[in-house]
């Protein structure tokens, strides 16, 4: 039997977590990823910020490509004009490429560009195409691109920093996103990003999303392996 595609392996594992790497020790990223692997994590989340779409500047394609890992690379592009940049992230080994609906006039072109490329890790694996929204954007903004997206990612905070509080509007927004996805009649993954901690992961998991992003609560500078296992156990308990 053929190996599962990225979409299929996430669908089979859902709900699952994708761990943000920005607060890991960036000088020893391979070690940090090893900790995630050993804990049973399958997805690592790269927060790419360009200093224009959002205030912070973080990493680019060379960092996404730097570490060879069996983890699936989940690349969240908080950059303007992503249609001009997605190809570099695919070449760097992205398994998921998520662009923001607010990042330019051409989210379609960005998602079409990703769809036209092969996964650099394994051409048979496919690439998951994500569309993301910041909290101020009506959820209906996903509707025009739903036929091109495999993932809807609702960001619960203002993009820029880890460690902010989970947005109170998120449960209602997830519900609306689920309605729009159901109406589109396609199997689309639903994800949530920002403010997920050990304190609220059980509540977030109960909201019924497929991918839960958690960054600073795992790489807290103290006990990443224990934190990752705690988060995985919490989402497994919600299945």
SS3 98: strand
- Structure-token pair, residue 123: 């051409």
Neighbours of 156 (CB within 10 A): 23
Residue 20 sits in the site that holds ligand DX5 (CB under 6 A):
yes
Active site residue 74: no
> Following DSSP, what letter does each residue of 172-228 receive, concatenated?
HHHHHHHHHHHHHTS--EEEEES---TTTHHHHHTT--SEEEE-TTTSSSS-HHHHH
Site string for ligand DX5, 68-97 (x = CB under 6 A): --------x---------------------
Residue 194 sits in the site that holds ligand DX5 (CB under 6 A):
yes
First CA to last CA across the chain, in angstroms? 26
Q: Whose structure tokens read 């089979």?
A: 12
Residue 95 sits in the site that holds Zn ion (CB under 5 A):
no
Residue of 18, 21, 39, 47 that binds Zn ion (CB under 5 A): 47
Which CA distances in Å does 5 have to 11, 63, 197, 231, 238? Answer: 10, 24, 29, 24, 24
Site string for ligand DX5, 145-164 (x = CB under 6 A): ----------x-x-xx-xxx
Residue 224 sits in the site that holds ligand DX5 (CB under 6 A):
no
We find the least distance from the C-beta atom of residue 161 to Zn ion, in angstroms, to be: 11
Residue of 17, 47, 111, 192 that binds ligand DX5 (CB under 6 A): 47
Active site residue 47: yes
Catalytic residue among 50, 193, 210, 233: 193
Instruction: Identify the CA nearest to 186 among candidates 133, 146, 132.
Output: 146
Q: So which residues are the catalytic ones?
A: 47, 193
Residues that bind Zn ion (CB under 5 A): 47, 76, 193
Residues that bind ligand DX5 (CB under 6 A): 20, 22, 45, 47, 76, 155, 157, 159-160, 162-164, 193-196, 213-217
């Amino acid at each position: 039997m053929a190996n599962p595609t990225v979409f299929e392996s996430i669908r089979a594992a859902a709900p699952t977590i994708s761990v943000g790497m920005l607060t890991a020790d960036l000088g020893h990223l391979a070690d940090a990823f090893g900790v995630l692997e050993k804990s049973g994590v399958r997805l690592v989340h790269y927060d790419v910020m360009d200093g224009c779409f959002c205030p912070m500047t973080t990493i680019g394609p060379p960092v996404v490509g730097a570490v060879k890992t069996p983890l699936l690379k989940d690349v969240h592009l908080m950059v303007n004009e992503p249609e001009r940049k997605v190809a570099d992230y695919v070449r760097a080994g992205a398994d998921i490429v998520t662009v923001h609906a607010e990042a330019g006039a051409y989210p379609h072109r960005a998602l079409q560009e990703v769809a036209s490329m092969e996964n650099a890790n394994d051409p048979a694996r496919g690439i998951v195409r994500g569309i993301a929204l910041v909290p101020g954007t009506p959820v209906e903004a996903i509707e025009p691109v739903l036929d091109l997206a495999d993932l809807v990612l609702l960001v619960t905070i203002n993009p820029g920093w880890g460690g902010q509080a989970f947005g109170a509007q998120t449960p209602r927004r997830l519900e609306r996103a689920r309605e729009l996805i159901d109406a589109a009649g396609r199997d689309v993954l639903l994800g949530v990003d920002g403010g997920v901690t050990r304190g609220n992961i059980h509540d977030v998991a109960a909201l019924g999303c497929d991918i839960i992003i958690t960054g600073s609560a795992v790489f807290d500078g103290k006990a990443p392996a224990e934190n990752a296992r705690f988060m995985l156990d919490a989402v497994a308990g919600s299945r």
